[in-house]
Chains A and B, each alone.
Chain A
């Protein structure tokens, strides 16, 4: 099998940078532009680039469609779980103040967990969109 060397080398260089930037947007989202949704899309773009260069079968061996489906629900579960955890700790749904004695620390923990859930779900949904479209084959 032979691939265009320019495309392959450029992608090998860019994919780690894209995923790293996605993580930066994820965890820096409360200080700069960004947040969970954008980070999820960026990470999914990295995976889609890998699939474009190396083909769908190899990508699906690396990240099986079932794992993507589980990740979709895990992100939602994390979001709802934080909400219910605050109820159990004796406050309203998603009232982060209950998570820690220090209010500012509590807001920080809450928003990081919520955004991580959003990011996971968005990345997984974007990847499953791509799997659904690319998996149709030539038609």
Chain B
């Protein structure tokens, strides 16, 4: 059952990756990569149970915490062109 879930998750990830490669706008790509990250968390957890090593849940939890930083960094870079910017939005 876990193996089936893993295959389904791989299919989902392949589709998200295709959208990230083809996506016409930046936001399509960001959203696709974010979805890819979320499915990676699930895939790590499921693979942990397939391999009989529940330790993998630690890694899945960590990935869930870290996943969001990369998205935020890319968005900030495209908004301000500078990762160290103070983050005020007065220009809007």
A interface, CB within 8 angstroms of B: 1-4, 7, 10-11, 14, 17-18, 21, 25, 32-34, 42, 45, 48-49, 51-58, 130, 133-135, 137-138
Instruction: Contact check, A48 vs B86: say whether CB atoms are below 8 A apart.
Output: no
Q: How far is the CA of A11 from the CA of B87 in the complex (A)?
A: 13
For A58, give the chain B residue with the smallest CB separation: B86
**What are the residues of chain B within 8 A of A58 when measuring CB–CB?**
86
**Residue among B61, B81, B83 with max Cβ neighbours from chain A (10 Å):** B83
A10 to B69, CA, bound (A): 11
Asked if A1 meets B65 with Cβ closer than 8 Å, knowing A32-B55, A32-B58, the reply is no
Are A21 and B87 closer than 8 Å at their CB atoms?
no
* Stretch in contact with the other chain, from B5-13, B19-27, B72-80: B72-80
Give the CA-CA distance A137 to B86 in the complex, in Å.
Answer: 11
Q: A1–B82 Cα gap in the complex (Å)?
A: 17
Are A52 and B59 in contact (CB-based, < 8 A)? Answer: no
B79 (CB) vs chain A CBs: closest residue: A4
Interface residues of B (CB under 8 A from A): 55-56, 58-59, 61-62, 65-66, 68-69, 72-73, 76, 80-90
Minimum Cβ distance to chain A for residue B89 (Å)? 5
* CB-based contact A3/B58 at 8 Å: no
A21 to B73, CA, bound (A): 21
Chain B residue contacts of A17, Cβ below 8 A = 65
Contacts of A53 in B (CB 8 A): 72, 87
